[in-house]
Amino acid sequence: MHRDSERHKLFGRRAIMLAGGKSVLLSALVGRMYYLQVIEAERYRTLADENRINLRLLAPPRGRIVDRFGDPVADNQQNYRALLISENTRDLDYTLDMLNQIIAIGPSERKRIIREVKRNRNFIPVTVRKNLDWREVSRIEVNAPDLPGILIDVGQSRNYLYGEEMAHILGYVASVSPRDESGDPLLELPGFRIGKAGVEKVHDLALRGSGGSSQVEVNAFGRVIRELDRQEGQPGAEVMLTIDLGLQRMVSGRLADQSAAAVVIDVQNGDILAMASTPGYDPNAFNRGLKSSEWTELVSNPKAPLTNKSIAGRYSPGSTFKMVVLLAALEKGVISPSSRIFCKGYTELGGARFHCWKKHGHGNVDAMLAITQSCDVYFYEIAKRTGIDRIAVMANRLGMGSKLGIDRPGEQAGLVPTKRWKRGAMDAPWHQGETLIAGIGQGYMLVTPLQLAVMTARLANGGFAVVPRLTKALGGADAGDSNNITEKFDDLNLPKAHLDLVISAMTEVVNSPYGTAYKSRISETEFAMGGKTGTVQVRRISKAEREAGVVKNRDLPWKDRDHALFVGFAPVHEPRYAVSVVVEHGGGGSSVAAPIARDILVEAQRRGSARSGRVIGKHQAEPPTLTAKVEEG
């Protein structure tokens, strides 16, 4: 009995302990359920809704780019795409075979489609082909019953209306690369494109706009059931350029297939009215995706179509630099306008001869005649008297040797050499012979066509430091203020008498029978231009060649021919337009570059390309007096 009693007590204690343990566990379970269902109810309700409702980002339309008169040069067009939803087709190979009879699908493209189908869920669309034309879309839609799983989707893609004529200004858009990622969720959207060059890159953030959103209900597998709400994004801002599209197209056509550049600028407010570089490229090809063969052709072309020569091409200015040297010499007082220097066809320094382009010389020449006939010996002498450092200071004041701040990536600074520069760059002293070479714009001296145009504008507007700009308005607001453009630029403090001499001499270059560009004069007196020719050697002429006679450019390989340059302004009585033209390996400046500049200035004046611009105003240079009548016809 005692043993049974002990066993009964032990069983009772164990039952109590077991019941207690169950009670504790049950209490914990009830507590947890209470915590989840009552205290955390709102949180889990939100999580459930988020699992059921997806918020998707919508890409906004990219902003348009227009010229100064509002004509579009870059906009968006409908992009028809063929998509494949694999769950809607029983036989993927059959569908692709049928589609191949309508739009050719190559082996590599077919492999890519199959690879993406296997990678994604069967209800997620896979892009088969982008940028379909309307004929292809129509044929696909007509044959839809035989193309299970194929559907047409409509999106937007960038469209450049004038291709090569505007390529170097506008740049292009392309897919986002890892180095472009900045945390902007728009960049993570499939197929989203950003500006990679030109204006597209400079104003990418403004052109990009802000994204919209779409709330869609999905099931447990992620399949979209319906759209609950949609909010469209904010379209990108419109960018208005200073470019006159009609003039730009004319300039590009006039340069044709030559390796060349030309810039037209308003001398009063700095608006770039045309900026062409040839040959160009088709920016639409970058948008749709370049083939390897197309890329190889572009990078191997000796005329460098991908380079914007107007701001990135660096050239010796040649004789177009002589106005800078003359102003530096006059300012230092080493000569006066009437000082004469005898040219016998060469000058000597330390046993070396520095030749003039005219073999037997020009005789006695003053400043006016030296510019008009481009006498090299005159400028050798005044450069030697002035010194390279003073010449460099004048070149800097006129816009050379540094970037001009134009809102366009890729601009080069050029090079204006000094004694200090050579010591730092080459650890060598400056030689006087190098000063003579710099006096005719050769040697180390390098400039861009944009800098030459700005130099000419600063001379023609009465000595104001006009600053070039390419953006006229951004999102409807004048972009001038943001670029610190004011109605009156800094005065360069160049004596009016010196400027008048230079402008008159440039007028004589074109309009005097003795001028180097007389054959390229403008016959209409109200359109008459002034200017300066330049011919730059790209190879050294040997003594034997010089003694044997002049070697014609046309007899040399293209790469050995001289560069042809011209800078000019018009009209001479009240300058408004400045132009620079550089034709790589084109030959003579007077025979090749000057006629191009003449045609450009005539077109700009007839079009009134600068209308609606601002005027800097009161201190314009006096109209020069022509010493030779401008001939008709």
pLDDT of residue 373: 95
- How many CB atoms sit inside 10 A of residue 499's CB? 22
What token pair was written down for 221?
């597998």
pLDDT of residue 543: 55
pLDDT of residue 624: 41
Q: Where residue 159 sits, what CATH number does that domain have?
A: 3.90.1310.10
Residue 11, judged by CB atoms within 10 A of its CB (0-12, 13-18, 19+), counts as: exposed
* Cβ–Cβ < 8 Å for 60, 233: yes
Report which DSSP code applies to 36: I
594 in a domain, yes or no? yes
Dist. CA 101–CA 83, nearest whole Å: 16
pLDDT of residue 421: 96
Same structural domain, 174 and 263: no
536 in a domain, yes or no? yes
Dist. CA 252–CA 390, nearest whole Å: 37
Single residue among 191, 216, 241 that ends a domain in this structure: 241
Long-range contacts of the stretch 223-230 (C-beta < 8 A, 24+): 223/123, 224/54, 228/53, 230/58
Same structural domain, 344 and 493: yes
Same structural domain, 258 and 165: no
Same structural domain, 206 and 323: no
Same structural domain, 427 and 529: yes
Largest Cα–Cα separation, the chain: 151
Phi, psi for residue 529 in degrees, rounded to 5: -120, 160
pLDDT of residue 544: 57
Dist. CA 246–CA 389, nearest whole Å: 42
Within 13 A of 447's CA, how many CA atoms are on the CB side?
33
Same structural domain, 237 and 266: no
Report which DSSP code applies to 339: -
Q: Where residue 455 sits, what CATH number does that domain have?
A: 3.40.710.10
516 in a domain, yes or no? yes
Phi, psi for residue 66 in degrees, rounded to 5: -125, 165
616 in a domain, yes or no? no
Secondary structure of 408-465 in the HEC alphabet?
CCCCCCCECCCHHHHHHHHCCCCCHHHHHHHHCCCCCCEECHHHHHHHHHHHHCCCEC
The distance of Cα 440 from the centroid of its chain, to the nearest Å, equals 30
Mark whether 292 is an active-site residue. no
* Cβ–Cβ < 8 Å for 56, 216: yes
Q: Give me the number of domains the chain comprises.
A: 2
> What is the tens place of the pLDDT at every residue in 561-592?
899 999 999 999 999 999 999 999 988 899 99
* Cβ–Cβ < 8 Å for 324, 394: yes
Same structural domain, 575 and 535: yes
Which one is catalytic: 319, 374, 504, 609? 319
Single residue among 182, 210, 241 that ends a domain in this structure: 241
432 in a domain, yes or no? yes
Same structural domain, 360 and 483: yes
Same structural domain, 186 and 232: yes
Secondary structure of 110-146 in the HEC alphabet?
HHHHHHHHHHCCCCCCEEEEEEECHHHHHHHHHCHHH
14 in a domain, yes or no? no
630 in a domain, yes or no? no
Helical axes 388-397 vs 432-439, angle rounded to 10°: 30
Residue 248, judged by CB atoms within 10 A of its CB (0-12, 13-18, 19+), counts as: buried
Same structural domain, 110 and 145: yes
Same structural domain, 233 and 272: no
Dist. CA 583–CA 309, nearest whole Å: 10
51 in a domain, yes or no? no
105 to each of 46, 96, 108, 299, 610, how far by Cα in Å?
46, 8, 8, 28, 50
pLDDT along the chain (633 residues), means of 10: 63 72 78 71 56 65 92 89 82 88 87 83 76 86 86 83 93 82 71 85 89 61 58 84 96 93 95 95 82 86 92 95 97 95 93 90 95 96 97 97 80 95 95 95 96 97 94 78 54 95 97 95 94 86 56 72 94 96 92 96 92 46 38 30
Same structural domain, 252 and 159: no
Q: Which domain holds residue 408?
A: 245-607
pLDDT of residue 629: 34
